[in-house]
């Protein structure tokens, strides 16, 4: 599959300033909800780390952080054909107020799997913040507690999101225009 040669060939959906403004708003909203209570963030690798890095600086709370490595689309060019945990949590979440940090909520497969996995570890509370929500692609009827932006059914990259591991470092979110055949290849369903 051929890739765009430069970021100029990718259409901007959310510019850096708009993202930064919204992340600050989310930080204020989350701070108000958890005020006075320690909050344990769990970033889902790899896509969420750019968002998490900005969000944590927008929170006025006592915060700890852990990461869970999990992948649903293999290398971004074809389905991995299986759920893959690539890194488990470093410490127990029992009795903690946990906020899962995601870059995008798409079919909801990942979210549903994660919610089951983390609930069994007995956190005091479990909520999810996602920078991007694509409700038109939802298969599992799940919703995030905090949403940065609701976006159309387009393949997006940048601000942590990749295509075949590329474009994660773009400061904005851009649409990658793919042919229907390329999209079908990228989105080949993985068994859950
Ligand atoms: C993306 C994203 C979510 C998941 C959402 O991860 O980070 O975890 O897909 O999709 P879903 O709602 O359809 O399950 P991806 O598997 O692309 O891995 P990455 O974060 O390492 O790029």
Residue 98's CATH number? 3.40.50.2020
Q: Look at ligand 1, atom 7, and give the residue with the nearest C-alpha.
A: 47
The pLDDT value recorded for residue 82 is: 54
Q: Look at ligand 1, atom 3, and give the residue with the nearest C-alpha.
A: 104
Mutational test site, ligand 1, from 42, 51, 71, 114, max ligand atoms within 8 Å of CB: 71
Q: How many domains does the chain have?
A: 1
The pLDDT value recorded for residue 79 is: 39
Residue 185 lies in a domain: no
Residue 175 lies in a domain: no
Q: How far is the CA of 3 from the centre of ligand 1 (A)?
A: 20
Query: Among 75, 88, 103, 106, which one carries the catalytic annotation?
Result: 106
- CA pair distance 110, 119, nearest whole angstrom: 14
Is the CB of 109 within 6 Å of ligand 1? yes
Residue 133: strand pairing partners: 105, 150
**Alpha helices for 120-160 (secondary structure H):** none
pLDDT tens for the chain, residues 1 to 192: 555 655 556 899 999 999 999 999 999 999 999 999 999 999 999 999 999 999 999 999 999 999 999 876 544 433 343 567 899 999 999 999 999 999 999 999 889 889 999 999 999 999 999 999 999 989 888 999 999 999 999 999 999 999 988 999 999 999 998 777 777 766 665 433
Residue 63 lies in a domain: yes
pTM of the model: 0.88
The pLDDT value recorded for residue 188 is: 60
The pLDDT value recorded for residue 118 is: 96
Closest ligand 1 atom to 103 CA: 7
- CA pair distance 147, 144, nearest whole angstrom: 6
Residue 77 lies in a domain: yes
Q: Is 133 a catalytic residue?
A: no
Residue 46 lies in a domain: yes
Is the CB of 133 within 6 Å of ligand 1? no
Nearest to 131 by CA among 50, 64, 62: 50
Residue 143 lies in a domain: yes
Nearest to 167 by CA among 157, 178, 182: 157
- If you write DSSP's letter for every residue of 44-57 in order, what string do you get? EETTTHHHHHHHHT
- CA pair distance 89, 99, nearest whole angstrom: 13
**CB hemisphere CA count around 111 (13 angstroms):** 26
Tokens of 46: 């790899």
The pLDDT value recorded for residue 55 is: 98
Range of the domain at 104: 16-153
Residue 170 lies in a domain: no
**Alpha helices for the chain (secondary structure H):** 16-34, 49-56, 109-119, 180-186
Q: In the chain, what's the furthest Cα-to-Cα distance? A: 51
Tokens of 67: 């990461």
Mutational test site, ligand 1, from 42, 47, 150, max ligand atoms within 8 Å of CB: 47
Mutational test site, ligand 1, from 42, 73, 86, 139, max ligand atoms within 8 Å of CB: 73
Residue 78 lies in a domain: yes
């Amino acid at each position: 599959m051929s890739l765009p040669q430069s970021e100029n060939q990718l259409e901007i959906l959310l510019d850096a300033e708009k993202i930064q403004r919204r992340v600050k708003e989310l930080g204020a909203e989350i701070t108000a909800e958890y005020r006075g209570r320690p909050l344990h963030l769990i970033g889902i690798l790899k896509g969420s780390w750019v968002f998490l890095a900005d969000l944590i600086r927008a929170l006025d709370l006592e915060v700890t952080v852990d990461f869970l490595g999990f992948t649903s689309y293999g290398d971004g060019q074809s389905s991995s054909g299986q759920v893959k945990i690539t890194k488990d949590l470093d410490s127990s979440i029992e009795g903690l107020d946990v906020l899962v940090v995601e870059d995008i909520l798409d079919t909801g497969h990942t979210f549903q799997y994660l919610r089951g996995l983390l609930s069994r570890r007995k956190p005091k509370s479990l909520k999810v913040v996602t920078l991007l929500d694509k409700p038109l692609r939802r298969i599992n009827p799940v919703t995030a507690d905090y949403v940065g932006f609701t976006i159309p059914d387009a393949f997006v990259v940048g601000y942590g999101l990749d295509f075949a591991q590329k474009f994660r470092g773009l400061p904005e979110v851009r649409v990658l225009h793919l042919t229907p055949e390329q999209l079908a290849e990228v989105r080949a369903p993985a068994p859950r």
